Structure formats: C-alpha cells, structure tokens
C-alpha cells in the first residue's frame, strides 16, 4: 500500500470511529487536527499527498498525521513493491483458524469490555462455529424476546451470566 492509499484508508477509518459513517473529508481532517492538536497541515498538502503528487512526508508532517490518526509514524511511508501483509505459509489446521482469529482479535476490543469478554469466552469454547450458528438464530428474535429468554434461563442473574 502506498502513502496515498494509507492516508485515504485512515480518513475512512477515522470517519467511522468518529461516527460519521463515511470517510472524513480532507477539510474535516485539517480542521479537526487544528482543533484537537492546535496545529495542522494544509488541505492542499493533504490533497497532494493523497493524489500521489507528493510521495514523501516531512518528519514534522509525518509525526503530526501519526498523532492525529493514532498510528506509528513508520506506518506513514509507502510499502516496498514486494511487501505483503498476508501470511506466506498455510495454516495447517484450518479448523482452528476461527479460534485463532477470535483470540487474536479479542484484544482489539479492549476499550469495550463486554465485547472483549464475549470474544474471549467464545475463543475458549470447544466449538465456536456451533455457538456462532446458534447466536445467528438468536438475531431473529427482538431484543425484548431475547431478554425474556435470558431471564427465563437465568432468573437470579441480572446479567445472564452463570
């Protein structure tokens, strides 16, 4: 991924994280950066970077963008042409890929304890695929129906935990 693609990706992620449900515009990035960090780059400079007209950042711009997007400054460089983020070897036991993925990604939810705890518990059950299939069926219930079911199964527990 080159620098231009990374910046566009970061604007998209930041827009979602901030509840816009769309990528932040370049102007929004510049304005928000100024409001939050009290310093910013220009929209024209950001546009040139994203258009590929400028392929390198100054050290100060790299640090500023890294602070704003909360990434390591080293992320804000173009990857070498042969760089790949995929694993180059196959996982031998494909049945365990889901469990491995759940464990690895549970940590990403550390800011939301209920979500992280759910994924940690799911990673520790014997057959997470079966649980996911059953959970999928529960999504056809309304929240009220599901709450009534949990209350019927666990009448003494406010949270539905055993």
CATH number of the domain where residue 38 is located = 1.10.260.40
| Residue (of 110, 113, 108) closest to 159 by Cα position | 113
Report yes or no on 159 lying in a domain: no
Q: Tell me, yes or no, whether 70 and 112 share the same domain.
A: no
Which two tokens mark 36?
């939050």
> Sign of the C-alpha dihedral, residues 93, 94, 99, 102?
positive
Q: Tell me, yes or no, whether 12 and 61 share the same domain.
A: yes
Q: How many domains does one find in the chain?
A: 2
Report pLDDT for 95. 52
Residues 76, 32: Cα–Cα separation, whole Å: 19
Report pLDDT for 83. 65
Please list, in sequence order, all residues whose beta carbon lies within 8 angstroms of the beta carbon of residue 8, skipping any fewer than 6 positions away: 23, 50
Report yes or no on 89 lying in a domain: no
Q: Tell me, yes or no, whether 71 and 117 share the same domain.
A: no
Report yes or no on 82 lying in a domain: no
Report yes or no on 26 lying in a domain: yes
Report yes or no on 158 lying in a domain: no
Could you tell me the residue range of the domain that residue 130 belongs to? 94-153
Report pLDDT for 88. 55
Q: Tell me, yes or no, whether 10 and 68 share the same domain.
A: yes
Pick from 75, 103, 138: which residue ends a domain?
Answer: 75
For residue 24, the 8-state DSSP code is P
Q: Tell me, yes or no, whether 70 and 101 share the same domain.
A: no
Pick from 28, 44, 75: which residue ends a domain?
Answer: 75
CB 88 within 8 A of CB 78: no
Q: Tell me, yes or no, whether 65 and 121 share the same domain.
A: no
Residues 36, 40: Cα–Cα separation, whole Å: 9
Instruction: Give me the tens of pLDDT residue by residue for the chain, a chain 162 residues long.
Output: 889 999 999 999 999 999 999 999 999 999 999 999 999 999 999 999 999 998 888 889 999 999 999 999 888 887 777 666 665 555 455 556 777 778 777 777 777 888 888 888 888 888 888 888 888 888 898 999 989 998 998 887 655 455
């Amino acid at each position: 991924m080159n620098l231009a693609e990374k910046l566009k990706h970061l604007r998209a992620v930041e827009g979602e994280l901030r509840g816009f449900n769309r990528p932040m515009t370049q102007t929004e990035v510049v304005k928000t950066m100024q409001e939050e960090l009290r310093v910013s780059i220009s929209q024209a400079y950001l546009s040139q970077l994203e258009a590929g007209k400028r392929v390198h950042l100054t050290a100060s711009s790299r640090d500023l963008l890294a602070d704003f997007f909360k990434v390591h400054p080293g992320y804000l460089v173009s990857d070498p042409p042969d760089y790949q983020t995929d694993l180059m070897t196959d996982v031998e036991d494909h049945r365990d890929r889901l469990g491995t993925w759940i464990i690895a990604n549970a940590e990403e939810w550390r800011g939301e304890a209920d979500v992280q705890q759910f994924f940690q518990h799911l990673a520790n059950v014997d057959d997470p695929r079966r649980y996911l299939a059953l959970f999928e069926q529960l999504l056809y219930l309304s929240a009220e129906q599901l709450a009534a079911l949990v209350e019927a199964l666990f009448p003494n527990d406010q949270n539905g935990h055993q």
